[in-house]
Amino acid sequence: MANGRLSMRKIKELLRLHQEIRLSERQIAESCGISQSTVEEYLHRAQRAGLSFHKFRDCPPYLGPKWVYARSIIQELQFHAFTIL
């Protein structure tokens, strides 16, 4: 993902296309103008963080993608802490 993080609008669209329209990762990548690996990464992060399009849709825009990253990091840390102990 050479261009950095995705915008809030693009993340919402990615989740909408995946969860509501049921497009493939390749189709989402083409529609959003991003690589398929970026689509895979964001879908994986959303899954780990327990995000759905409906939950994310109501997230205030000022929180932006940082909210997605923070939630996925917290989820990942909780998972690793549990598996280590």
pLDDT digits (tens, 9 = 90+) for 14-63: 999 999 999 999 999 999 999 999 999 999 888 877 778 877 676 666 66
Q: Output the pLDDT for position 67.
A: 61
71 pLDDT tier (thresholds 50, 70, 90): low
Q: Which residues contact 59 (CB under 8 A, 6 or more apart)?
A: 8, 67
What domain count does the chain have? 1
Q: Output the pLDDT for position 6.
A: 83
In a domain, 2, yes or no: no
In a domain, 37, yes or no: yes
Q: Which residues contact 67 (CB under 8 A, 6 or more apart)?
A: 59
Residue 41: domain span: 8-84
Q: Using CA atoms, how far apart are residues 43 and 66, in angstroms rounded to an integer?
A: 15
Q: Output the pLDDT for position 48.
A: 79
* CA–centroid distance for 38 within its chain: 9
Quote the tokens at residue 55: 């939950």
In a domain, 62, yes or no: yes
Mean pLDDT of 2-25: 86
- Higher pLDDT pick, 84 / 58: 58
In a domain, 3, yes or no: no
Q: Output the pLDDT for position 84.
A: 46
